[in-house]
Amino acid sequence: MNNSVIEIVNVTKSYEPESKALINVSLDISQGAFVTIIGPSGCGKTTLLRLMNGMTGIDSGKIIVMDKDLENWDKIQLRRKIGYVIQQGGLFPHLTVRQNIAFVLRISSVEKQAIEKRVSELAKMMGFDERQLNAFPSELSGGQQQRVGVARALASRPEIVLMDEPFGALDNITRRNLQHEIKEMHRKMKITFIMVTHDLHEAFTLGTHVAIMNKGEIVQFDTPENIQHEPVNKWVKEFIHI
């Protein structure tokens, strides 16, 4: 694909000599796609996600991010281009909601007025009032904390957003609401989303493309429709019908 935003080529990764977390993984993600990554626990989903912004190093292979080898990216610049959301928000407990949202902008020395403006925009988008902006994360519900996590990831207007089971710990209703909001955001903004999930419904309804992993490998990467119509093997067929 020539409009690829992240290209992973033949990547292998092990944390320990005898066991490989990723085996010869290749994945080409197009600009504007919404890629969901699903597979059994321990199959390498988080590892795959974290190597896309250099949080985890690789043993062999290469990763091209926005036409540039990951090795040649300035790490701070990369953090501004790639937002990252984790389960339960991963918020800084000692910072207010406002300070959490502003964090990436502050460390990349954006001027104060511009930060305030951006925080106001995000607060409006996510439905936070002044009181909530001044609260600490522990004073908010799980769903609200997750919204703060999303706002923080979007603050620097990234081109790519990585999410690792962002809604995993939420109750069903809150989860469905946030899924809906993320889908709308993807529709409106020109952002490429890559989301790890263990929820099949989430993977197939949010993803324009789904990567199905097992034991360190991508077993199938295709549109939800194609995977449902033509699972590549018996394992995928059974996996998507549990």
For the beta carbon of residue 151, count every other beta carbon within 10 angstroms. 24
Asked whether position 87 contacts Mg ion by CB under 5 A, the answer is: no
List of residues 6+ apart from 169 with CB closer than 8 A = 87, 88, 142
Name the residue nearer to ligand ADP (CB basis): 2 or 41. 41
Asked whether position 88 contacts Mg ion by CB under 5 A, the answer is: no
Asked whether position 53 contacts ligand ADP by CB under 6 A, the answer is: no
Task: Determine the interface stretch with Mg ion among 39-47, 64-72, 112-120, 139-147 (rule: CB under 5 A).
Answer: 39-47
Asked whether position 45 contacts ligand ADP by CB under 6 A, the answer is: yes
Going across the sheet that includes 160-164, the strands are: 82-86, 160-164, 192-196, 34-38, 209-214, 217-222
Asked whether position 18 contacts ligand ADP by CB under 6 A, the answer is: no
Binding Mg ion (rule: CB under 5 A), the pick from 14, 31, 46, 88 is 46
Q: Minimal CA–CA distance to 159: which of 4, 14, 46?
A: 4
Out of ligand ADP, Mg ion, none, which partner does residue 151 contact, by CB within 5 to 8 A per kind?
none
Q: Is 8 exposed, middle or buried (0-12, 13-18, 19+ CB in 10 A)?
A: buried
CA dist 38 and 136 (Å) reads 32
Site string for ligand ADP, 21-40 (x = CB under 6 A): x-------------------
Asked whether position 30 contacts Mg ion by CB under 5 A, the answer is: no
Asked whether position 15 contacts ligand ADP by CB under 6 A, the answer is: yes
Q: Minimal CA–CA distance to 160: which of 6, 7, 3?
A: 6
Which residues form the interface with ligand ADP (CB under 6 A)? 15, 21, 41-47
Write out the residues near Mg ion by the rule CB under 5 A. Answer: 45-46
